[in-house]
Structure 1
């Protein structure tokens, strides 16, 4: 088979099929997340705003980034700046997904750290430890335990969502402003633009042909992938350290039960970190190897595996962030029973089940 004069091998076909499968999984899973938040009012919380933002970014990966990646793998002929813009879109969407993951990690740290931090207890003159009197402290005014709500308001959550979209858009479009390989394909396109042969303006589009490797390696990998990964690692270490310390000093059934739920959540965050590193590190490492070692060769099959892993993370996120939450699971089951098995939508039962799961997972909202 061939496309635009380029032969399509069996490896290319296998890559395209896997990309389509990942795109369908990413679209279906993340649309279900957004759908659940729309139907269930109990999910309309500041934390879930960030999850919806991540889900929308992953929907865009399945609907936009993966089709573009397929076109680039086929080396479809297009104008230099069209190819460059397509590659910039890939950077924007992947950077957005990474920043959304980082925002959720920060939110997780705040939810674990702030509610268990003790301070002055209003008119009480004696400072007591939460670890020793967790059950007694429940009788104190609820405003004392609203530190997280005071920090992570709805307005600030929307600001965080806006930052997760605005910053990648600006940084991802930097190549369009001149940080690209204009000395190769771009210069040739400009020279041929004045000729009568319009075919000279179009070249086989590929990521290395238009993107500056300084931008890809130093700026994108070191600055926008590796740095957030290290920050997330530090946050998760703090989360585990805090929970471990509280479990060691905890007294009382209610305190131990709450900490066990927080530990369960921390284990989920460790899984998120592992999946993030597993999916996102291989491809930029390959780019770095090619950049620092021009004589080294990365095979096409290995390169495709790295691309597939990075896209597969968008399909994994609904499993990690949604199916670990009872409120989501209850909503998913209601959607399944109503829209796929034809059962009636019992609104009162739905809200009753949601409230029960909300009480059961009060400290395990994400």
Structure 2
């Protein structure tokens, strides 16, 4: 084995380990978000319904998309159409995450720009419909290569290993997947968040003789919450751009200049997948209500475990006590939300 082959093997090993680590973080982080929201019944609230949809999509990125992405990196031998289908599934699960991010941005924009309409119209059933639309709308977008917009089977022989770039057309990746399905949502999110920032800045601006100390208590509390929200939105937008743009830039370079290297693609793919791992931190642990719900879940299970091991009472009595504590925490969470 020469030095070049050795370097390639090391690169592939590092890439695989990084992807495995990201997949584990995606599954654990997003599973905790879904568990916290489900146990506190916050899923009945419109905004949190979209966050659950995002967490489920990001969980599947770690559980399904990342393992499949590793497989279509030349690890297995398949037929052309099998390889094409696997590649489309990878696109589907990552695209759902992008659409859910955009839906949350629109939801937060409407909450500020049209509060009365939002309170009257955006119910949990409405949010369920929006979340379902994100999943349904992603299917035709991601499976377009199956309808003919692909790299073609002429250059794919049965002896070839399944590789994403061999079956998915670069024209599709650049013009359709990047310009339409990624760059457009990014621009929409930028415009919406820019409005949110301007709105919050105007409301937080202190005018002479009308400082924050002279504002009603409820208004002052509202402004502080919106200020916290603004910092989270800035982080969301920055992480979205940093995670997704490098991979699509590599696709553009490969299409127009044919100079992108495989290691550059591996870095871009890992960054795009990492976005699904950091979303639980941005959307859950930066939002106090969800963070509080997760802490309550953690305390509840650790308390019940300690009681079941050290208590002299029966196991059924311990479970009854834990269930009562669960109901109390759920009710308190529902009272404190919004």
Gaps in structure 2 of 5+ consecutive residues: 308-320
- Paired residue for 2:101? 101
Q: Are residues 1:314 and 2:276 paired?
A: yes
**TM, length-normalised to structure 1:** 0.79
**TM, length-normalised to structure 2:** 0.85
Q: 1:335 aligns with which of 265, 280, 297?
A: 297
1:29/1:318 contact within 8 Å kept: yes
- Paired residue for 2:164? 207
- Describe the shift of the 1:263–1:355 C-alpha distance in structure 2 as closer, same or farther (beyond 3 A): farther
Deviation at 1:43, TM superposition (A): 4.3
Structure 1 residue ranges, 4+ long, deviating more than 4 angstroms after superposition: 343-361
- Paired residue for 1:77? 77
Gaps in structure 1 of 5+ consecutive residues: 116-145, 190-199
- 1:312 & 1:287 partners in 2: Cα distance? 18
- Paired residue for 1:56? 56
CA offset digits 1:157-182 (Å, max 9, x no partner): 12211110011111111100111111
- Describe the shift of the 1:222–1:245 C-alpha distance in structure 2 as closer, same or farther (beyond 3 A): same
Deviation at 1:28, TM superposition (A): 0.8
- 1:287 & 1:150 partners in 2: Cα distance? 44
2:41/2:330 contact within 8 Å kept: no
- 1:351 & 1:343 partners in 2: Cα distance? 19
Q: Are residues 1:219 and 2:176 paired?
A: yes
Deviation at 1:357, TM superposition (A): 5.8
- 2:285 & 2:11 partners in 1: Cα distance? 33
Deviation at 1:352, TM superposition (A): 5.0
CA offset digits 1:2-21 (Å, max 9, x no partner): xxxx9960111111111111
Q: 1:187 aligns with which of 140, 154, 161?
A: 154
Deviation at 1:358, TM superposition (A): 5.9
Deviation at 1:343, TM superposition (A): 4.3
Q: Are residues 1:286 and 2:277 paired?
A: no
Q: 2:138 aligns with which of 168, 190, 196?
A: 168
- Describe the shift of the 1:359–1:114 C-alpha distance in structure 2 as closer, same or farther (beyond 3 A): farther
- 1:268 & 1:244 partners in 2: Cα distance? 15
Q: Which moved more, 1:347-356 or 1:328-337?
A: 347-356
- Paired residue for 1:139? none
- Paired residue for 1:241? 198
- 2:138 & 2:248 partners in 1: Cα distance? 17
- 2:155 & 2:196 partners in 1: Cα distance? 53
- 1:354 & 1:265 partners in 2: Cα distance? 23
Q: Hey, which of these two has a bigger chunk of helix by percent?
A: 2
- Paired residue for 1:325? 287
CA offset digits 1:203-241 (Å, max 9, x no partner): 221122111111100000000101100100000000011
2:75/2:161 contact within 8 Å kept: yes
Q: Which moved more, 1:18-27 or 1:73-82?
A: 73-82
- 2:194 & 2:221 partners in 1: Cα distance? 21
